[in-house]
Amino acid sequence: MKMISTRTARKRKLTTYAVREHGANLLFMLPAFLLFAFVVLVPFFQSVPISFTDKKAIFAKSWNYVGIDNYIKLLKNRAFLDTFLNTAHFTLVYIVGANLLGLVLALMIWRSSRFNNVARTLLFMPFTVSLVASTKVWSYVYTDIVSPLFGIPSPLGVSSQVIFGLAVIAMWRDMGYCMLIYIAGLQSIPGEYYEAACVEGANSWHEFRYITLPMLMPAITANVTLLLSWGLRCFDYSQMVLNMKAAKTTAVFVYEWIFGNSRAGVGQASAIILTLVLVVLTNLVNSILRRREVEL
């Protein structure tokens, strides 16, 4: 009896502590969450019912409920499914490219020095350029520099190369961001590990393979997850080559059908399918990568 009452008291104490701790965390999170809920969650849930209607323009005042018709039509529609393939293609090239470049750059300039600090700033700068501006600049780079220099057409005008051409723009813009996260990861690895490995006779590749890479897993998880969600939502890059079927992403399809084609019901259903795919894939990749992380 006495034992039970001690346990209960400890439990109560723990609960009070947990509530106090989590409560404080929640309070800190509340302003950001409210903003997020206001601009993302509430509009999203408000728009879900529209996906079950035949609503045309977004300003239309009347519509009919059509059940899951829009979803069935979309899942049977070749044009819609093709946009998923394009999106996946872009995302894959973009994630691999931006991460590899970011990692290589980070490995080159992670140590602090005056030159490295300047280089980091310069390499991060493209990330501060707007997406629209960077795509405009790159369209001239491809046409006026790459084309005459190599005697090839701009990749933005060739279906088989357009995704790669767009991914290069995205890589150029975001590799600096990846680099910064990798630099933070590299700087947090204790130097003793490398010293011990050196004593054991490990070469540079061994150090990278068995120390750097495993210790960088949290940074890799962060970069891959983030770029995965950015890639799947890719809109701006695809918009610049609207007429290229091979470059049309799902986000552009959503925009076209909700607004341009005045079929808000169909467009909203496609948006929900995209959101579901994005949530499932991001969580899946995140959980797989987290399992490989090493605790310091």
Partner 1 sequence: MKKFLAIVLIAAMMFSFASFAVAEEPVKITVFHYMAQAVKQAGLDAIEAAYTELHPNVTFTNIYYNQGTDYFPQLSTALSSGDQPNIIMGNPGLYPDLVSEGFVMDLTDNETIKAMNLPSGDLGDVSADGKIYGFPIDFKSWGIFYNKTIFEEQGLEVPTTLTELNALQDKLIAAGIDPYVRSHNDAVYGDIECRNTVWTRALAAGDIDVFENLMNGTKKFKDYPYFAEALENWKMRLVGARADDMSNTQDMGLEVFAAGGAAMRYDGTWAIGDMLSKKPEFEIGFFIAPIDDEGSAKLNVQVDQSFMVNPQAKNADVALDFMEYWLTQGVVWSEMSQMPLNTGVVSDNLMPMVKTLAEMKGTGDIAHYGDFTMPLSSAFTTAWRTELTTFAESTLTGGGMTVEQCLDNLQKAFDEVIALN
Give me the residues that bind partner 1 (CB under 8 A), please: 56-61, 73-74, 76-80, 139, 142-143, 147-148, 151-154, 156-159, 239, 241-245, 255-263, 266
Residue with smaller CB distance to partner 1, 56 or 233: 56
108 Ramachandran zone, left/alpha/beta (phi>0; psi -120 to 50): alpha
Nearer to partner 1, 186 or 266 (CB): 266
The dihedral formed by the CA atoms of 226, 116, 294 and 280, expressed in degrees to the nearest 10: 10
CB of 150 to partner 1, least distance (A): 9
> Do 212 and 186 contact (CB within 8 A), yes or no?
yes
Q: Is 176 exposed, middle or buried (0-12, 13-18, 19+ CB in 10 A)?
A: buried
Rounded least distance, CB 77 to partner 1, Å: 6
Give me the least distance between CB of 256 and partner 1, in Å please: 7
Q: Kindly provide the b/e burial profile for residues 211-221, where b requires at least 16 CB atoms within 10 angstroms of the residue's own CB.
A: bbeebbbbbbb
Phi and psi (nearest 5°) for 109? -130, 25
For residues 28 and 140, which CB has a smaller minimum distance to partner 1 in the complex? Answer: 140
Among residues 156 and 227, whose Cβ is nearest to partner 1?
156
**Least Cβ distance, residue 276 to partner 1 (angstroms):** 19
In the bound state with partner 1, the residue whose beta carbon lies nearer, of 40 and 79, is: 79
Residue from 264, 258, 260 nearest 52 by CA = 264
Distances (CA, A) of 144 to 23, 155, 188, 240: 57, 12, 43, 17
- Rounded least distance, CB 78 to partner 1, Å: 6
Q: Smallest distance, Å, CB 128 to partner 1? A: 23
**From the CB of 226, what's the least distance to partner 1, in Å?**
26
Please say whether the dihedral angle defined by the alpha carbons of residues 195, 201, 203 and 205, taken in this order, is positive or negative: negative
- Which CB atom, from 13 or from 136, has the smaller least distance to partner 1? 136
Residue among 80 and 182 whose Cβ is closer to partner 1: 80
- The CB density around residue 144, as the number of other CB atoms within 10 Å, is 11
Q: Is 211 or 244 the residue whose CB approaches partner 1 more closely?
A: 244
Closest distance between partner 1 and the C-beta of residue 133, in Å? 15
